[in-house]
Structure 1
């Protein structure tokens, strides 16, 4: 059985999928997002965990997940970098009737995505930027396999796209037009969850001895979030209701 490299765990998460969830954050990510609020997950240097250890810990809280219609979410870092472990965990959860959610940015080989999707009940797919040049600037990487992995995920499981609204950076008319074009090209419609940019991760950057790249960018205001929602809705994209 493969080992996982775990960064941390939230046994009663409420924002990473439906219901109350056991959220496992795996270590390691190839993206270097300027707005990342968990840069300490970038390096694959987490605590080794076995599948049995995760399932045993999960069992302690299982009643909460079943009562609330929740389940297990694997996040990161980028969980697809540990696709063998995630697939084994999700396969075991399927056997126990526990709902599984993959929280990914899709920056991994299509082969790794294909390993996990057969056992995945839902996908939270983060699009960092819809414009290729802006994606490079924000993440340090070209979009690469992200579009292909998004299309594959949409063809296999219910997908919610997550998009962070960063004032002046990801909320221009061109950004929303590119995002709408990307979503309209998918095999079936998906909903978008708009997330307001915040500066809570700055302390982690500084604690790691790193300069926070977006130090001059303010948190997204309510009116900016409403404008983003209106821009996407006008282009036929369903935006999930949220309080801003």
Structure 2
């Protein structure tokens, strides 16, 4: 279980997170949506202390960190409970796809090299790119690199997976393959928090949706409730703007090409 209470974070005296409180049950997939600058990614990074909160309590898988008296050893234990999938992959460029998985696996779990290779190959097969095991990141597409990142996160068998806009850096042609991998993982009851701008994906995959704006959790609930019957005006405005943008984009794609002479 993940529990967050009274979480606050500011940068240069500007409050980015304002008294955040929420829980995620074991095996639950929670999607966090909202406009840019609402604090979504900062929230995710605070969960494993990539960003140190200014106040609040975070509990993940039985490890609890309270900002005012947190010890380095507690932070390290908390980080062992999660694995992050980043926007920009964060792969070791001088290591192959397989080595990108086996290196942190050996470092964090003290797995032997033979065991690490077996786990790495199994996970590359799971995400559909075992044939790329000996390839370096430079020779992989964005979608393939992100799938390596997902496999690396799965390798350490964390209590929860944290996805920070996992498709935002991808060309449109690679988005679907990454979303499918994440969807397949969710079917195995893995605890996941996904910050995403893919509204249709959030509706389909999430057990619960959290809408953030201006550093606050404005609304949360079942996807059907949030998307189809939002109770807060801020949520309604955001989803209306999103729907309008989608409609305009669709119309532009379907407009006939004008010939000039």
TM-score interval w.r.t. the shorter chain? 0.3 to 0.5
The structure, 1 or 2, with the larger RCO (C-alpha pairs under 8 Å, 6+ apart) is 2
TM-score, normalised via structure 2 length: 0.32
More helix by share: 2
